[in-house]
Amino acid sequence: MKRRDACILIVDDDRPQAETLARVLGLEGFPTRLAKSGRQALELMAGEPIDLVLSDLKMPGMDGLELFRRIRTRWPELPVFIVTAHGTIETAIEAVREGVVDFIQKPVYAEELIHRFMKVFEQRALRDENKELRKRLLHRDRGDAMVGTGPAMTRLREEIARVARTEATVLILGESGTGKELVADAIHYGSARSAGPLIKINCAAIPETLLEDELFGHERGAYTGADQRRKGRFELADKGTLFLDEIGEMPQSLQVKLLRLLQEHTFQRLGGSEPIRSDVRVICATNQDLGARVSKGEFREDLYYRINVVPLLVPPRATGPKT
């Protein structure tokens, strides 16, 4: 990970001290964000990617250890450093045992701090490379199991390879249990987006009242109980692929929003007013006759043609888990 790609969140109620440290890190090429409390830090992290947290230990309300525990619950792999002028050996041991990367005594020396940061980023890069290799091997094996040796599946394999090289929206058709999800996997991992996320959602498995929130996310205060910003699946799938299974079950109110996103490549979170740019490839799947549903007025015709750019039919009794 290059320094300019690694965003560091500094959490400290001493604003001048935090700004001084941010300037030093900025001169070394690290982008930074500032938060004056644990609560503000969590709100900021819910809305934008952070690669490392550097938190003061003693803060009013939520101290550095409590902030770390909450971060570990939601972002278990995010590295956290804790800085203090009041630390004790016992506190340091407790912090490291719980998973804090390092416990640093003030005064903080920038050169030593940056050395420790780079060591963490290098270890993470190696771990991510190993995970990506294992994932590619896994999905290669799954793809081979899905395709089989029959002529119909051989044709499907060829069609998958061809469409994977494009950015076209794909509609996967087939009976339940034919392996439509495996086809989506193969398209994603054979595409230029394979290093990005593959996010999946079953439109039939989530109540209509929750599906919009799952897809588009919400702003803080969008409704009762929305106490912080939340990213939806489209935002989580940025630079990757979103697989919408059972698209025929999507309510018509959401069909309109999905159509707008596919046309304009932007969306808004619930309660939001600012458009968010969407760089996501959409793959849909259904076991229904969407053309017949369009004729009955149960599915929008304009959306049907928008998602049916490249239809792929999965033959019955293909090997693979049910979708």
In a domain? residue 243:
yes
Tell me how crowded residue 98 is: count the other CB atoms within 10 A of its CB.
Answer: 12
Whether 262 and 306 have beta carbons less than 8 Å apart is answered as yes
d(CA 34, CA 41): 8
Q: What pLDDT shows up at residue 116? A: 85
DSSP 249: G
Q: Are residues 202 and 94 in the same domain?
A: no
Q: Are residues 210 and 302 in the same domain?
A: yes
Whole-model pTM: value is 0.56
Domain count across the chain? 2
C-alpha dihedral (240, 245, 249, 250), degrees to nearest 10: 0
Q: Are residues 273 and 165 in the same domain?
A: yes
In a domain? residue 134:
no
In a domain? residue 321:
no
Q: Are residues 154 and 113 in the same domain?
A: no
Q: Are residues 156 and 26 in the same domain?
A: no
In a domain? residue 141:
no
Q: What pLDDT shows up at residue 241? A: 96
Q: Are residues 40 and 76 in the same domain?
A: yes
In a domain? residue 130:
no
The one-digit pLDDT tens for each residue of the chain (323 residues) are 556 678 999 999 999 989 998 998 988 888 999 999 999 999 999 888 899 999 998 899 899 989 999 998 888 889 999 888 765 666 766 777 778 888 888 777 778 888 888 888 887 777 666 666 555 555 554 444 454 567 888 888 889 989 998 999 999 998 887 789 989 999 998 888 988 999 999 999 888 878 999 999 999 888 887 788 889 999 999 999 999 999 999 999 899 999 999 999 999 999 988 899 989 999 999 999 999 999 999 999 999 999 999 999 998 864 444 44
Domain enclosing residue 65, as ranges: 3-125
Q: What pLDDT shows up at residue 139? A: 53
In a domain? residue 91:
yes
Which of 125, 157, 192 delimits the end of a domain? 125
Q: Are residues 154 and 287 in the same domain?
A: yes
Q: Are residues 72 and 167 in the same domain?
A: no
Q: Are residues 199 and 253 in the same domain?
A: yes
Whether 95 and 103 have beta carbons less than 8 Å apart is answered as yes
Domain at 199, CATH number: 3.40.50.300
Q: What pLDDT shows up at residue 223? A: 83
Cis peptide bond prior to 316, omega within 30° of 0: no
Residue pLDDT, tens place only, 166-221: 999 999 998 887 789 989 999 998 888 988 999 999 999 888 878 999 999 999 88
Non-local (6+) Cβ contacts of 209 within 8 A are none
3-state secondary structure (DSSP) of residue 323? coil
DSSP 109: P
Q: What pLDDT shows up at residue 135? A: 56
In a domain? residue 26:
yes
In a domain? residue 137:
no
Q: Are residues 112 and 30 in the same domain?
A: yes
Q: What pLDDT shows up at residue 107? A: 78
Q: Are residues 159 and 37 in the same domain?
A: no
Domain at 53, CATH number: 3.40.50.2300
Q: Are residues 160 and 293 in the same domain?
A: yes
